[in-house]
Amino acid sequence: MKAAVFHGPFNITADNVDDPKIKAPHEVIVKVLAGAVCGSDLWTYRGESAAALESRIGHEFVGEIVEIGNEVENLSVGDWVITPFRYSDGECAACKAGWQSSCAHGGFWGWDSDGGQGEYVRVPYAQATLVKLDEPPAAAAVPDLLTLTDVMSTGMHAASSAKIVPGDTVVVVGDGAVGQCAVIGAKLLGAGRIIVFGGKHPDRQALAKQFGADEVYSARGEEATATVQELTGGFGADVVLECVGSATSFATALTLAHPGGRLAYVGLPHGVSVDIAKLFRTNVTVAGGLCPARRYIEPLLPKVLAGDIHPGEVFTTRLPLADISEAYRQMDKRETIKVLVTP
């Protein structure tokens, strides 16, 4: 079969690899029907992560079960399934508390099991990991469903971790797929005003507004701080959702919340360190982290199936797996918001 392989910085291609085989009775094999490239994959693409050469990559995919281990219950060959971006056993203390992101036996696709950018994936702890649909979805719903594997769940995790209450003024920092989905999440929780800070791409600005943003700005750093001060009568925002993960973005985000406000971050942080003495004066709460996507898929699923939300709009490009190299190039150059990959 074909799957994306990381050969080194800026060199990811779709190569022939071994077909996956079930290794343990709690596993299944999923035939991937749609996959995606994530902003966090770019850390590997750019050589800024610890990924080994020749490793597999990709952690967002939906598909159909084609083979099933002996111990797997409640799933069958032919089931259409959504896969959270991390697998989890469903039985450890962390899973039972809803923090599958910290599962004692969990792992990341590409790092600890097959990558999701490929034709087939071996799924450990399938019964706990996968969310099956009652029936195969309409083709038009697939992009929306695919976002539940990561970016929509992660955007919802930002909004949820920040404990948004109806009426809150919410600033979203970042106009990538996660930032866009955080706008949806904030809207779902009843935010009264949503202000997005991103780049100057008109398509991203338009999408943020489509998803529920009231205002969109391209200001950064001190200019962003001044803008939020001006927009909030000199007080600051109730909530800030940091959806970038860089040190400069995080530092700016911390200045946008009012005293006692809440910041939630969900972007994989790289070199971000916070001086607690600065937080001390403002009483800003810092929440969030690695999204326990498994917990968000089920509550979001009915909204997607009913067409209440359309997070799949973040896919502004669709490419076949054979063109994975081009998919990464476009993501890296910010020529597209997000690429949907069809095997």
- Is residue 209 within a helix (H) or strand (E), and if so which, with residue range? helix 202-211
Among 141, 279, 301, 305, binds a copy of itself (CB under 8 A): 279
Near a copy of itself by CB under 8 A: residue from 55, 218, 282, 342: 282
CB of 84 to a copy of itself, least distance (A): 15
Q: Among 42, 141, 219, 290, which residue sits at the site for a copy of itself (rule: CB under 8 A)?
A: 290
Bridge partners for 15 per DSSP: 3
CB of 30 to a copy of itself, least distance (A): 26
Q: What is the SS3 assignment for 46?
A: coil
> Least distance to a copy of itself from the beta carbon of 97, Å?
6
Q: Which is nearer to a copy of itself, 20 or 288 (CB)?
A: 288
Q: What minimum distance in Å lies between the beta carbon of 38 and a copy of itself?
A: 15
**Stretch near a copy of itself under the rule CB under 8 A, chosen from 24-32, 47-55, 99-107, 210-218:** 99-107
Beta carbons within 10 angstroms of residue 258's beta carbon: 21
The nearest distance, CB 183 to a copy of itself, in angstroms, is 21
41 to 85, 117, 301, 311, 336: CA distances (angstroms): 12, 11, 25, 19, 14
Residues contacting 97, CB < 8 A, separation 6+: none
Q: Smallest distance, Å, CB 131 to a copy of itself?
A: 20
DSSP 76: -
Strand partners, 56: 5
Tokens of 309: 């939300």
For residues 311 and 162, what is the distance between their CA atoms, to the nearest angstrom?
20
- Output DSSP code: residue 92: S
Asked if 289 touches a copy of itself (CB under 8 A), the answer is yes
Q: Whole-number minimum distance, CB 282 to a copy of itself, in Å?
A: 6
Q: Using the 8-state DSSP alphabet, how is residue 49 labeled?
A: S
Q: Tell me, what amino acid is at 15? A: D
Query: Looking only at residues 150 through 209 of this chain, which bind a copy of itself when binding is defined by CB under 8 A?
Result: 161
H or E stretch covering 132: strand 131-132
Stretch that binds a copy of itself, among 67-75, 112-120, 188-196, 282-290 (CB under 8 A): 282-290
Query: Rounded distance, CA 325 to CA 6, Å?
Result: 10
Query: Using CB under 8 A, which of 199, 260, 299, 320 touches a copy of itself?
Result: 260
- According to the binding rule CB under 8 A, does residue 39 interact with a copy of itself? no
Using rule CB under 8 A, residue 273 touches a copy of itself: yes
Binding residue count for a copy of itself, defined by CB under 8 A = 38
Q: Which residues contact 275 (CB under 8 A, 6 or more apart)?
A: none
Give the residue, chosen from 24, 77, 93, 226, that forms a contact with a copy of itself under the rule CB under 8 A: 93
Q: If DSSP codes are grouped into helix, strand and coil, which group holds residue 40?
A: coil
Region of 4-12, 139-147, 202-210, 261-269 interacting with a copy of itself (CB under 8 A): 261-269
**CA atoms within 13 A of residue 237's CA, in its CB half-sphere:** 34
Report if residue 259 touches a copy of itself, rule: CB under 8 A: yes
**Per rule CB under 8 A, is residue 284 in the interface with a copy of itself?**
yes
Nearby residues of 41 by Cβ (< 8 Å), 6 or more positions away: 57, 58, 59, 328, 331
The yes or no reply on residue 94 touching a copy of itself (CB under 8 A) is yes
Least distance from C-beta 277 to a copy of itself, angstroms? 5
According to the binding rule CB under 8 A, does residue 296 interact with a copy of itself? no
Residues in touch with a copy of itself (CB under 8 A): 93-94, 97-99, 101-102, 161, 233-235, 250, 258-260, 265, 268-270, 272-277, 279-290, 292
